[in-house]
Chain A
Amino acid sequence: MTETRQFQTGGASRVEADALIVCEGLVKIYKAADLEVVALQGLDLIVEQGEFIAIVGASGSGKSTLLNILGGLDTPSAGGVMVAGYDLLALSASDRTDYRRNTLGFIWQQTGRNLLPYLTAVENIEMPMMLDGRKDRRDRAMHLLETVSLTGREQHRPSQLSGGEQQRVAIATALANSPKVVFADEPTGELDTATSSEVFEVLRTVNREQEVTVVVVSHDPLVADHVNRTVAIRDGRTSSETLRRTAIGEQGERHVIAEEFAVLDRVGRLQLPSEYVEELELERRVRLTLDPDHINVYPDRPGHDEGVDRR
């Protein structure tokens, strides 16, 4: 398959009522000693039900902060965020507990952090169901173990499982209470390539067969092969999204077409790709011209004033 990259612009200008996750102008400010760190600077994001998306970005771009907010582990400083009908800014303590228990599943990067070390694999999976007072938890736990291809390992403790197996148990645990969405923060960060691929494949299976929305934060380039959509975050905002689709060529060959879009926020701002900016040496101001079906962007330098209305 070949990959064709096309750059297009696009973005949502209004809240999608049916979307599973809606973030509007999300802001998160941390105070550390005497410093204020603005981790999110008005981030917008929409995730539809059933999507498998990846959130990528450089270190410090705010992606883990976003995930913590979406996972109910942290609260934003400003903005709005709705997940599965829950307004995360307006949750009471009991609602937040219910949200964490029944609406989402969470997977961390550190394999040991996802599981209680003194419980077996099946017991770890049962644990969220225990919190919810579910009666059929053993059966469901065994089913989930089968889903993640760990049948036969149910009585093993985390210390007796490999990193990849631990993460698969973590995935099963995250699915225990039939959540609507699973958040995974660098789930393959500690795994090798082959194991990482297995984990992503499991997530993909879960997404496809159980129709669970999966949001993965990752540095791993492999994630791109597994997701339909990649959202890039830069400087606390969504900068671009890449959509992938498979197309069939004239010869019947399949090729994946990745279309990268700049994200336009509700007030019309967008981030130009950095390589474009560097290439054209764009700085401070740019000149815009409007054509019937596109907008031109010119650097503010002599010789680049075509189409300028000098009246």
Chain B
Amino acid sequence: MTTTTSENSENTSGGQQPPGNRPKGLGAIGWARWVWRTLTSMRTALILLFLLALGAIPGSILPQNVVSVDEVNAYFRENPELAPWLDRLYLFDVFSSPWYGAIYLLLFVSLAGCVLPRALVHAKAVRARPVPTPRNLGRMPYVARFSTDASPETALERVGGVLRGYRTERYGDSVSAETGYLREVGNVLFHLALLALLLALAAGAFFGYRGNMLIVEGDGFANTLPSYDAVYPGHWTDTDQFEPFTMHLDSFEASFIEEGDLRGQAESYVAEVTYTEAPGEPERQHRLEVNHPLSVDGVQVYLLGHGYAPEFEVRNADGDVVFDQAVPFLHRETRSYTSDGVIKVPDTGGEEIGFVGVFLPTAAEDAEGELTSTFPGPENPAVTLEAYRGDLGMSEPQSVYQLRTTGMEELGESPVMAVGDTWELPEEAGSVTFKGYKQYATLQSNRDGARLPALGAATTAVAGLLLTLFVRPRRVWVRATRGADGRTRVELAGLGKTEAAGDNSEFHEITKQLAGRLRSESDDNPRTPSDPPESTTRGSDR
């Protein structure tokens, strides 16, 4: 691997020599070496970067399982022909697909193969002395010459004083100086930090978990597998050993904009929770908001959404209370929060009863006389119910949000019920009372051990990047010799290794300072003007 020590001002090296001269009849080792060289070349890195970007595109166009399983299912329903084919190409799981994995694994190997040797080379270079002064300085991009009455020895001794931040080394009648080592340090740091980031992300994905739950105001939650509505563990996550915290939803408040064009847009959500880190630990309070998660024992708990849980009391034909509970309803959309839900009453003493309900936080009639909700906040809460009697089919697993009506007979539809209203069921099947409503919060818990390591790696990467992009490595050589006239000829050459044309201005500044110092040093001596340089044109007016 070539390091950036080439003497041209253009930094075109960077990687290794381009691959291409493939070994002819070198056998397995030759091939292996060729493969490795090709893989770790800049050109391959470039191509892999492109593939990484290209491969990500379908991941943004097609619905992804990591983002929303529902959308993927919807896509399957709408495109029954195409979807299975896309699925075979892992196009609904792009970022965990074997082909995308292959790209980033190759990039990972390429990166490691490129950067680790470079780091070793550079570890030596950082300690190395500046290179010996070339014999002919006249070919450098910047060369300045002047004469002084100070001795060559004095001239070379003063160089250190004007080269701030440079590392200097004396070579006979010259001084060689170099600065900007941090650029390469930054480059190595940046690429290593990317490796670390990839490793951290992989570890997090393998050992972490994510889970969703719904808690009604006044209810609690214990962090165990069965308490979740859905859990997404990593490959090597131990699902029996979740952190043993518990929490309780004390209250939930949502506020919405009431007036203007934005009426109905949510303004804030606040959930007050009480939690304990582990059994026996003291209770603590936390105010859970959208950007204010709860962090407990390495697990983050976030507020995802909210909804209404109307409370119902159901009595059987004899007037006994057989059901008294808040039932979470799911909203159809967020502008009105019109919500759907199901009430299942298996134990009535007689036949099983079920209801399909609609909850309207702000019930009103629209232009066609249809009942709708006009605002997400509960300004005029109402429910309508359809009652069914028969077999709920609870012996088989089923969703709590759906009523299986196949084995049931419809009893009838309720009138619009306000809070406190009771509907006497037809055929003396009992009654149902809409007692009020609670709110519920949907929460997500997440344990991802990679969060902090990933942040550390990313921060390091930015720091390394800033060094790589803004530190300008450059070299200066000063040679001082006694001329035929007895005066000292000083020659100063500068070489910038990056593209900043400003380097020359800096070298010129150094020359002027050096000349100035030497002049003040020899002020007692009479000053003999040197010959005016021939053929000088004003190159620039700085």
- Does B associate with A? no
Binding site for A on B (CB under 8 A): none
